[in-house]
Structure 1
């Protein structure tokens, strides 16, 4: 795959493709490692849920038996894509996975599962794995901020921005060039999906959202590595993400402080097993109960 010299490389693709663990400040490294440990608790807590079990059974039936990538908590291993599918489903069901408030995005559920699956498959080092995860966080959070609150009214941002976050993390592990990363973003963006309509009946779609984002992002990166091309202006093109999924998209958010502002460090932990929007009320109730 040759890069068209008339097409400029988006700074976000350049950043994701070239980030090294040594480039990440020590405090951000520590936060990334803490987020990793926190994610393990979420995925293990969620793996027994009924919707997750359905997706896991599907993944194990369709994937390579005894493959290189673990399905956590299941004493089973399969292909990277199917392991990412199952682990991402389990990551977002206990409602205690991490959150970035500004982007309304839960990075761990869609970054760590595909990154771990691929790292196990290719024998990546711990530093390579964590650099890829930080790349995924930084990309996903910025895409969520870019798409804005109008997007969130209809779309589950963790599912949509998460597809690009997964592509960034896996692409970094695979050693994609910046041009290849841009193609991976194009393929991931065209697969971005996840509608809130399921909330009306309490359907199981939320687990499908994270599973699909992780698997689709992984596939996008592998395809780009093999020369598969994607849209070159998936963010702001006339038929791209902003045009189809937002009325208040802000392209400046994609590169805001890139390499100096570490959105990974802005990501927080949940102290209650519920949507972050409910936490102030929960804290207030607990304080009243303690005082009275």
Structure 2
């Protein structure tokens, strides 16, 4: 097979295993986990929840990413964006990925069960199943609404961080979950517009493939407007203050402007995609900074 023969001999195997975990995605996810933890309490975090909760959630997320690589290996082989991944290139085999993902997942679950609480472990496992099985195996291949429905698994990290500390589902945790849930479609659809020919060739029914670019760009704008409105809710319920609200509206205004321009210029798909990542990081950084400035615990009963 030509793609396998072309693998550079000097490529270190550990890099292939690291790539299976989608480290950049997991890094952003762990940042939102940390924010969820810090927002859940006024004082210092319990060190076990901070260290082993983050490690456990990160390991399970890496396992889910590896399973996604395994499930998508045939699709990845025909898409320009993904044909260089470890499985299509032959740097790892399917059996190795199964063993690797199982080890990561089991290790992560042990950390969560021993050092956090059963609810956090259960929700983390549900997220693993939701992403690696429900989304990757079924939704991705069956409906153009795949990312809308499957986005619930990707929206869980800040909620998991919150629950790792408190052991319960509070309104603040659910609101953080909602923000990422609504952020996911415009984020991913922008990339799907840019890579629509790849998805069509791989026969993946992403929205730009099934409904066209104009329809998808309109939906991106609609979701972005809804996202900006939802990001005002932390202020509305007393979870955050005016500094957060001002920053969130500035970030959101830029997002809406880019989404509006995308409807007229498809070349802005990747700028929208890249900004969406910076937007999420900035929004959660604002939540964290506002919480630190306030110097007081937010109570769900307020």
In the superposition, the TM-score normalised over structure 1's length comes to 0.29
Hey, which of these two has a bigger chunk of helix by percent?
2
Pick 1 or 2: higher relative contact order, CA cutoff 8 A, min separation 6: 1
Which has the larger Rg?
2
